[in-house]
A and B are shown apart, each in its own frame.
Chain A
């Protein structure tokens, strides 16, 4: 067992972390809406991925696979852990996450978005984050969440519809987040 955990494996993990930790953490944050949960989830996901590193075919791209592990970990966290505990304090919420932006408008903008995202059902939230933040294709998202591309498409559609109808995004008339009326035939 000790032989397996040689320097190569540690290097592999370091490579993964270097490449994907920040992105994975932000993705988890957007999905979970909570810094500490995201940190836990990402740690768990990387440990899990590293433990099953043998199942990643050599030469295959690690990034989509890691995304998948992260998304699955977030999903299981949302499903099993988070519903069963007390709500955290408000400052831990995603609405208070964005602290780097100096512009108050930026913060407010993030807060509105976070609220809208948090109100989305989890499956829709996941596809939105993966599509518009992680910039995965629909097919890659399908792989990541283990569903068919058609499901991804319909979820994206539904998510965009719900976001457009969300009051915290709708109310800001000046926001670039405008609702576009669809052209009806």
Chain B
């Protein structure tokens, strides 16, 4: 690669430049133009300085430069307002952007909270039928809203209940006996029932969190509640956690109260309360006070129509049975007796079936079902294999730390992105303004 010698280049350039003839009167023309531009700006507030530039630059003094009168004003016009306008526009856009971002952040901040709290815990919402549907009936295991409407559910979940509410299987025979014995008074029961107020099947479930080691006390309280309301405990199931003090949690997210490490730590239980339907609402309210209610669902289904329908069908069937009995008492031939008997059996079984359904409805409407799921506060997923040896434990700690680090990264990613975005926009604006300013100065 060859290079031009610097000294030679300098000499030749100097010689060439020295040969250039500086035009005569150039400085004078510039001064005149400057004065003219000042006059023009003073006269017309800078809008038409070209009018002042014209006379100051006679055509004969500026040969071949028709636009010579323009430079001063045009430079001013093209440089100042355009940049100022664009910059103002950009700054306004940036302000709007930042403002919108800040507003969005401020709005989304409180916005998250109600959302999560609504899904996790809602002690205040008692009769929300919309939410009850699946979860409520599934938890209680009793007749759900959908099933209650259909009469094809002869099995009662609380079949093993005490005799207070006359379980369905046993009551079938009892009612049969009653109806067969007092056939004349049979219609009296339905009419009395129809006169009653609306039949409502009420279900509910409450998830309670109780203090560490207070599970048994809570079960006792719940039993007392049911009894005092005139109801009973239909079933209760308690799972006591691991014996001995609660092992230290692997992930240190424990609440301070859970460090007590009592014997019952990690216990959970389910208590199904049956309380008279009128006392259902107050019982739900009281149950919530036993511990911290993390979720409450209740549902109510009006089954009055179904109830009346069942009663009417039973009445009709009993009347026909009565007639069959009359016929049978008059029959003499064996064949007739057998025929009537078979009819009578059919009617009788149908009556018993309907009566069973009626009893189920009766039971459900008389006693509301409230399923209470109890969890101790300190309960957490039991540490599967707690590594006690140093190496394994260190390995576990390392994995845990790594995972939490990743989690942390993901958590702050949004914030970082936002901050970077803002910073980038500001940097771009600042750089742009700086450049524009520099350009303007020259």
- A contact set with B: CB distance below 8 Å: 1-2, 4-5, 10, 13-14, 17-18, 21-22, 25-27, 29-30, 35-36, 39-40, 42-44, 46-52, 55, 68-69, 72, 92, 97-101, 106-107, 109-110, 113-114, 128-129, 132-133, 135, 146, 157, 160-161, 163-165, 169, 176-182
Q: A29-B20, A163-B4, A178-B8 are in contact. Are A48 and B75 (CB under 8 A)?
A: yes
Interfacial residues of chain B within 10-26, with CB under 8 A of chain A in the complex:
10-23, 26
Measured CB to CB, the closest approach of chain A to B6, in angstroms, equals 7
Tell me the number of A-to-B contacts counted with CB atoms below 8 Å: 173
Query: Which residues of chain A have C-beta atoms less than 8 A from B23's C-beta?
Result: 25, 35, 39
| B12 close to A176 (CB less than 8 A) | yes
| A182 close to B3 (CB less than 8 A) | yes
Q: In whole angstroms, what is the CA distance A129 to B17 when docked?
A: 10
Q: A50-B34, A160-B4, A177-B8 are in contact. Are A43 and B15 (CB under 8 A)?
A: no
| A43 close to B30 (CB less than 8 A) | yes
Q: A36-B65, A43-B71 are in contact. Are A164 and B4 (CB under 8 A)?
A: yes
Measured CB to CB, the closest approach of chain A to B11, in angstroms, equals 7
Chain A CB within 8 A of B31 CB = yes
Q: What are 7 A-B pairs with beta-carbon distances under 8 A?
A: A10-B34, A26-B17, A29-B17, A35-B20, A72-B442, A128-B9, A132-B14
Measured CB to CB, the closest approach of chain B to A163, in angstroms, equals 4
- B contact set with A: CB distance below 8 Å: 1-6, 8-23, 26-27, 29-31, 33-35, 37-38, 41-42, 62-65, 67-68, 71-72, 75-76, 79, 438-442
Contact of A177 among B9, B18, B31, B79 (CB under 8 A): B9
Q: A14-B27, A176-B8 are in contact. Are A44 and B2 (CB under 8 A)?
A: no
Query: Which residues of chain A have C-beta atoms less than 8 A from B68's C-beta?
Result: 39-40, 43
| B35 close to A5 (CB less than 8 A) | yes
Q: In whole angstroms, what is the CA distance A49 to B1 when docked?
A: 41
Given contacts A1-B41, A21-B30, A179-B2, 8 further A-B contacts (CB under 8 A): A5-B38, A35-B23, A55-B441, A146-B438, A161-B2, A177-B4, A177-B8, A178-B5
Query: Which residues of chain B have C-beta atoms less than 8 A from A51's C-beta?
Result: 37, 72, 75-76
Measured CB to CB, the closest approach of chain B to A101, in angstroms, equals 5
Q: Which residue of A lies closest to B19 (CB)?
A: A98
Q: A110-B15, A160-B9 are in contact. Are A21 and B26 (CB under 8 A)?
A: yes
Q: In whole angstroms, what is the CA distance A145 to B160 when docked?
A: 97
Contact of A182 among B2, B15, B67, B76 (CB under 8 A): B2
| B16 close to A113 (CB less than 8 A) | yes
Q: In whole angstroms, what is the CA distance A129 to B9 when docked?
A: 10
| B6 close to A165 (CB less than 8 A) | no
Query: Which residues of chain B have C-beta atoms less than 8 A from A133's C-beta?
Result: 10, 13-14, 17
Q: Which residue of B lies closest to A179 (CB)?
A: B2
Measured CB to CB, the closest approach of chain A to B71, in angstroms, equals 3
| B2 close to A109 (CB less than 8 A) | no
Measured CB to CB, the closest approach of chain B to A22, in angstroms, equals 5
| A25 close to B38 (CB less than 8 A) | no
| B31 close to A13 (CB less than 8 A) | yes
Contact of B13 among A10, A25, A30, A92 (CB under 8 A): A30
| B71 close to A47 (CB less than 8 A) | yes
| A113 close to B3 (CB less than 8 A) | no
Contact of A2 among B38, B71, B439 (CB under 8 A): B38
Query: Which residues of chain B have C-beta atoms less than 8 A from A129's C-beta?
Result: 13
| B64 close to A36 (CB less than 8 A) | yes
Q: Which residue of B lies closest to A51 (CB)?
A: B76
